[in-house]
Amino acid sequence: MHSLFMDKPVAVQSSWTHTTVLLGEAVDALLGALPHSGDVDPVFVDATFGRGGHSRLLLSRLPERACVIAFDKDPEALCAAADITDPRFSIRHLGFRHLGDLPAASVSGVLMDLGISSPQVDNPARGFSFRQNGPLDMRMDTTRGDSVAQWLAQAGVEQITEVIRDYGEERFAGSIAKAIVARRQARGPLVTTAELAQLVADTVKTREPGKDPATRTFQAFRIFINAELEELQQALATSLKVLRPGGRLVVISFHSLEDRIVKQFITQHAREVFDRRAPFAPPRAMQFKALGRIKPSAAEIAANPRARSAVMRVAERTAVAMELA
């Protein structure tokens, strides 16, 4: 289990830095699931490795018999992981929907730090930022799948509208989609982030003070092209299978769409469920116990403004549910 499950890196690690959000709070929450008995070798999962801040701190605080298994789709994340020589660490070049590849009830803690990392945003070549010009890509895994530019070159108004509306919560979704298709028909498809940002700015005439008009559209396209919400839902469901009794689920979200999914998932599984078709049958036992919601401190937000929207939710796998599941 301690061998390095990683493909050969296909990208050079960048010089852009990343400040891990809620670092100490997340690791403290995970460590609350350390088994008291020496019969179990603890396994922790960093489901979204990024640049490895959580994994590194976790390794420094875990006993020698524990290990950390990480997942990440980004080839640059794998390059960053290559710097970790601790034999207790391994990483897989896979999205965290593959959490279910691990054995049932084998994991003491699962951490999901959602969204994108600062190096992904700050590197214009990745195409995530509307503030810097670069190719209109936005793929987390640059080795596979279509970029945003490739998708927009053939998508229709209805599909583009749906994506911007549902994943960006953008009230001008229809107008932006029509402008994208009209531009494609008149002058060819959009290929750079600057072109998309300018088109949105020209289309959206009003916006909240201090927010760029393109914010919601870029968020929507990024979430869609990477199937982020679908992967989150799959990974959350799989956590029920892989977490052992007493194991911890820790999820850090950065926007309302993600946090809503996490909150609803924990709430749904943190209560007994009665079958209305069998009113006298015993209820299905609760599968999680919600342990709380944590936000960054004022000091952390002052030091790292990108932390301001973060919300961390913690839940613990119940022992009774494991017996009945």
Q: What is the mean pLDDT of the chain?
A: 89
Q: Would you kindly state where each structural domain of the chain is located, as residue ranges?
A: 23-119+228-324, 142-225
The whole-angstrom separation of Cα 164 and Cα 246 is: 39
Pairing of strands 89-92, 107-113: unpaired
Does residue 79 have a pLDDT over 50?
Answer: yes
Give the model confidence (pLDDT) of 99-114 as tens digits: 999 999 999 999 999 9
Give the model confidence (pLDDT) of 243-263 as tens digits: 999 999 999 999 999 999 999
| Bridge partner list, 92 | 71
The whole-angstrom separation of Cα 189 and Cα 3 is: 45
SS3 letters across the chain: CCCCCCCCCCCCCCCCCCCCCCHHHHHHHHHCCCCCCCCCCCEEEECCCCCCHHHHHHHHHCCCCCEEEEECCCHHHHHHHCCCCCCCEEEECCCHHHHHHCCCCCEEEEEEECCCCHHHHHCHHHCCCCCCCCECCCCCCCCCCCCHHHHHCCCCHHHHHHHHHHHHCCCCHHHHHHHHHHHHHHHCCCCEHHHHHHHHHHHCCCCCCCCCCCHHHHHHHHHHHCCHHHHHHHHHHHHHHHEEEEEEEEEEECCHHHHHHHHHHHHHHCCCECCCCCCCCCCECCCEEEEEEECCCHHHHHHCHHHCCCEEEEEEECHHHHHHC
pLDDT confidence tier of residue 47, bands split at 50, 70 and 90 = very high
Specify whether the CB–CB gap between 254 and 115 falls below 8 A. yes
Domain spanning 23-119+228-324, CATH class: alpha beta
Give the model confidence (pLDDT) of 163-177 as tens digits: 999 999 999 999 999
- How far does CA 100 lie from the centroid of its chain? 16
Mean pLDDT of the region 43-51: 95
Does residue 269 have a pLDDT over 50?
Answer: yes
Which is higher by pLDDT, 176 or 270? 176
CATH superfamily for domain 142-225? Putative methyltransferase TM0872, insert domain (1.10.150.170)
Q: Can you give the pLDDT at residue 117? A: 83
Mean pLDDT of the region 103-128: 92
Its pTM stands at: 0.88
The percentage of the chain sitting over the pLDDT mark of 70, rounded to a whole number, equals 87
User: 3-24 in b/e burial notation, b at 16+ Cβ within 10 A?
Assistant: eeebeebeeebbeeebebbbbe
pLDDT confidence tier of residue 324, bands split at 50, 70 and 90 = very low
Specify whether the CB–CB gap between 246 and 28 falls below 8 A. no
Mean pLDDT of the region 260-267: 97
CA atoms within 13 Å, Cβ hemisphere of 79: 12
Cα angle value 171/177/183 (rounded, 5°): 140
